[in-house]
Amino acid sequence: MEFIHEERFQPFEIEAIMTEQGRKYWVPDASEPYESVTTALGNQPGKKQAIQEWRNRVGFEEANRISRIATTRGTAVHSIIEDYLDNKPDYLENRMPDAVVMFKTLQPILDKAISKVYMQESPLWSHKYRLAGRVDCVAEVNGKLTVVDFKTSMKPKKRDWITDYYLQTAAYSHMIHELYGEMPSQTVIFIAVQDSTPQIFVGDPNVHIQHSFFKERL
């Protein structure tokens, strides 16, 4: 499979910094660094408490083990997908076997759905919401301009469990609109699931931008 790449959007560069409050970015024409989308979502009321309750429930060591495995595997699958969409012939070389297995469940879906790639791991920001981050992918998916996010999971997700995924992709969609004047018509979240079939969740960025998270940012 050979993916078509088009420079539809001029890429920018932004500087990431780590603070006590989490990752932030210096972006053009800003008087202070902007909070990353993922950090801001993680700082929503009740989020840290819910995570702590989970850690208490499963135990400190087990929680660390699960988090470490999830982070390592998620990064590995992301890296494979990025190289694959970049048409690199060695995209599977020296990869972890479990990451390769999870990627291969997604591969035929990506082949069928994605026709053009416009951005990968590209910086985006919004002066309106004072947020910034790096989008996984912006592509033409089933003929529509789409913000794409790739996730991995140990078990299938229910739609009401992934509100933050919708908010993250909606944020990137509105950043594209703010920076480039084009509004993605949809968001698509591809989830590779361990020992199961992948999941695909399609969202409307104009619907999810009405969430209280964005209203509070304003």
**For position 130, which CATH number holds?**
3.90.320
Q: What are phi and psi of 32, to 5 degrees?
A: -155, 160
Of 56, 4, 28, the closest CA to residue 48 belongs to: 56
Query: Which parts of the chain sit beneath pLDDT 50?
Result: none
What integer pLDDT is reported at residue 69 of this predicted model?
67
- Rounded Cα distance between 91 and 156, Å, is 26
Look at the pTM and tell me if it is higher than 0.75: yes
Number of domains in the chain: 1
Non-local (6+) Cβ contacts of 102 within 8 A are 73, 77, 152, 192, 193, 194
What integer pLDDT is reported at residue 180 of this predicted model?
97
pLDDT tens per residue, range 26-62:
999 999 999 999 999 988 776 666 666 656 776 767 6
Are 79 and 120 spatial neighbours (Cβ–Cβ below 8 Å)? no
What integer pLDDT is reported at residue 47 of this predicted model?
65
Are 213 and 167 spatial neighbours (Cβ–Cβ below 8 Å)? yes
What integer pLDDT is reported at residue 169 of this predicted model?
98
Helix (H) or strand (E) run with residue 81 in it? helix 60-85
Structural domain that includes position 111: 4-217
Q: What are phi and psi of 200, to 5 degrees?
A: -130, 125
Of 8, 3, 2, 4, the closest CA to residue 122 belongs to: 8
